[in-house]
Amino acid sequence: MTNLSVPPHKQVYEEHSELMHYTTADGLKGIVTSKTLWATHAGFLNDSEEVIGFFGNRLRMILKPELEKHVSESLEQCLAEFLAAFREAQEQTQDHYVTSFCTACDGWVSQNGLLSQWRGYGQDGGYAIVFDTKGLDSFLRNDAGHYHDSEETLVFGDVQYEEGVEGLSFVCDKQVLDHVQRVRDCFAACLKQETSWEDYKAFNSIAVLSTLWKHRGFKEEREVGIIVGEPSPKIQQELANEVTTPFRRIYAFSRNGIVVPCIHLFEDQKLETLPIRRIIVGPHPDREQRKKAVEILT
């Protein structure tokens, strides 16, 4: 089994020299001035239905082959019970926070941005912050050393897009395949009673897969995600007297009248700058004025 505790995956920066993070004017100001990136709780993502769909559809595909080897009767009922139990246990033990980037399919998009993203973020203009991928990788590695178990729960990987085919032939990222195999191996060990269900070790892998596995309708975005796992508040209380390194601080912001939990990546590194290569100003009547403001700000 590949060691999953070494963040982030080398494949990301080997294949993508830069990553594009689309945001609003307020988001741009916050990132540039605070030298941090906000990662949103996975349950509050714009496409959180993808996370929900993973437990009903894709996790079923991952677990079913192992269940068929060990269960001969009431297979579908048994599978449904496992899926429900896994989701409940996942929600009770760990929270996951995500920040997302797009990669460019060609040179034009790299310099001008993606139209679908401007439609989403460009109601009031919109900006694309272009990061150096290897620089982000370095900061993430440094970040991991500041917090409890962070190296084991921090993932930097390519999103896989469901292609409507059987099996896993569409999965390109070895890191994702490693997580799939870990989910299956731990599931099989429990079914064979080699370990107890209380000691199931792949909940973090399930959470990672739920955020890195999306419908093919989003494929144009060519997304890369940073996923950070944190023990749930209940688990943090149970571990409070045992840990020697801190948990990450949880913040919140308001969106459409909802309080959204988030974490701030890199906040304890006290960075002088982020690895930003350039900032693309989205389509807007005041585009030139906005470009000038960006030049002054950065």
Taking only the tens place, the pLDDT of each residue in 111-130 is 999 888 888 776 677 899 99
Residue 123: CA atoms inside 13 Å, Cβ hemisphere, count? 3
**Smallest Cα–Cα separation from 93: which of 85, 81, 101, 105?**
85
Q: Give residue 271's pLDDT band: very low, low, confident or very high (50, 70, 90).
A: very high
pLDDT at 250 (0 to 100) = 93
Spatial distance between the Cα atoms of 138 and 142, rounded to a whole number of angstroms? 6
**Smallest Cα–Cα separation from 133: which of 51, 49, 10?**
10
Spatial distance between the Cα atoms of 25 and 126, rounded to a whole number of angstroms? 6
Given a cut of 80, is residue 19 above it in pLDDT? yes
Q: Where are the alpha helices (DSSP H) in 94-232?
A: 107-112, 115-121, 133-144, 150-153, 174-191, 203-211
pLDDT at 139 (0 to 100) = 92
pLDDT at 102 (0 to 100) = 94
- Give yes or no for a contact between 42 and 34, defined as CB atoms under 8 angstroms apart: no
pLDDT at 261 (0 to 100) = 94
Spatial distance between the Cα atoms of 234 and 237, rounded to a whole number of angstroms? 5
Q: Can you tell me which residue has the tokens 């460009």? A: 122
pLDDT at 1 (0 to 100) = 30
196-244 pLDDT, tens digit per residue, is 887 788 888 888 888 888 877 788 889 999 999 888 888 888 888 888 8
Q: Can you tell me which residue has the tokens 């590194």? A: 269
Q: What is the mean pLDDT of residues 267-291?
A: 90
48-83 pLDDT, tens digit per residue, is 556 666 777 788 888 888 888 887 777 888 888 888
Q: Which residues contact 122 (CB under 8 A, 6 or more apart)?
A: 282, 283, 284
What secondary structure letter does DSSP report for 186?
Answer: H
How confident is the prediction for the chain on average, in pLDDT? 83
Q: Give residue 286's pLDDT band: very low, low, confident or very high (50, 70, 90).
A: confident
Q: Can you tell me which residue has the tokens 């916050």? A: 30
Spatial distance between the Cα atoms of 10 and 20, rounded to a whole number of angstroms? 18
Given a cut of 50, is residue 101 above it in pLDDT? yes
Please give the share of the chain, as a percent, with pLDDT higher than 70.
Answer: 89
Give Cα separations from 47 to 131, 208, 294 (angstroms). Answer: 23, 15, 29
Computed on alpha carbons and rounded to an integer, the radius of gyration of the chain in Å comes to: 20
136-195 pLDDT, tens digit per residue, is 989 988 888 888 766 667 888 888 887 665 666 777 778 888 888 999 999 999 888 888
Beta-bridge partner residues of 161: 214
User: Letter for the amino acid at 273?
Assistant: T
